[in-house]
Homo-oligomer: A and B are copies of this chain.
């Protein structure tokens, strides 16, 4: 808000920040996959990291579009917010906009699967075991990274409960991302916490550790790192 902004002192302006004149699309929050009008599948994402990244990118001078699943957080000031529910909603809203973007940061915890059928009316309980048929959702991150010539600089996230480095590097390679930021989840780490730590990987065995900090501070560090690598790629150099 304005008073807080004034009290915080001047922030970098759109003409001065490391992402000045650039456009950034960020996804945030969980998605909800309906079984029927009452029940849904979701996950513990709070949207705190995605929203903090939107603020940090804005403060770095970028024009920011934030596509967010259901979150208690309101959209940061000065950011174009698009609210969605399901992974398919998020996919549609991202693909409609990502062609004009310089950077894409997929910070949402998109549901990998959705129920094969979503009933229009409430499913009645029966006493027996049952099975819920699930089908894979569109892989937004992979699709954006596969856009080819002129695709945005593409950053993914990985939330892992085990074997973090291996899972994150595997996702980086498999989806052909420019960078991935990985964090531990479970046992009060990650989603609902106000602070976090990140292990960041990029192609060619690149690696940086961002030490435990509150999410806004961590987001500013990550945006700085992303901006350096984005400009290095734009200059055609391998190492910034």
A interface with B by C-beta (< 8 Å): 35-44, 72, 109, 111-113, 116, 120-122, 124-136, 159-162, 167, 185-187, 191
User: Judging by beta carbons under 8 Å apart, are B43 and A41 in contact?
Assistant: no
Are A113 and B130 closer than 8 Å at their CB atoms?
yes
Number of copies of chain A assembled together: 2
Q: Out of B36, B72, B116, B186, which one reaches A129, CB within 8 Å?
A: B116
A122 near B37 (CB under 8 angstroms)? Answer: no
Q: Are A37 and B135 in contact (CB under 8 A)?
A: no
Interface SS of A by simple majority? loop
CB distance from A216 to the nearest CB of B (A): 22
Shortest Cβ distance from residue A55 to the other chain B in the assembled complex, whole angstroms: 23
The answer for the CA separation of A216 and B43 in the assembled complex, in Å, is 31
Complex Cα distance, B123 from A41, in Å, reads 14
Residues from chain B with a CB closer than 8 A to the CB of A126 are 136
Task: Report how far A126 CA is from B121 CA in the complex, Å.
Answer: 29
Q: Given A113-B130, A127-B136, A130-B134, A122 and B38 touching (CB < 8 A)?
A: no
Chain B positions within 8 Å of A167 at CB level: 124
Q: How far is the CA of A232 from the CA of B215 in the complex (A)?
A: 57
Q: Bound complex: CA of A139 vs CA of B131, how far in Å?
A: 19
A162–B161 Cα gap in the complex (Å)?
Answer: 41
Smallest distance from the beta carbon of A150 to chain B beta carbons, Å? 27
Q: Are B39 and A111 in contact (CB under 8 A)?
A: yes
CB-based contact A39/B37 at 8 Å: no
Taken together as a complex, chains A and B put the C-alpha atoms of A36 and B113 apart, in Å, by 14
Q: Complex Cα distance A113/B28, Å?
A: 29
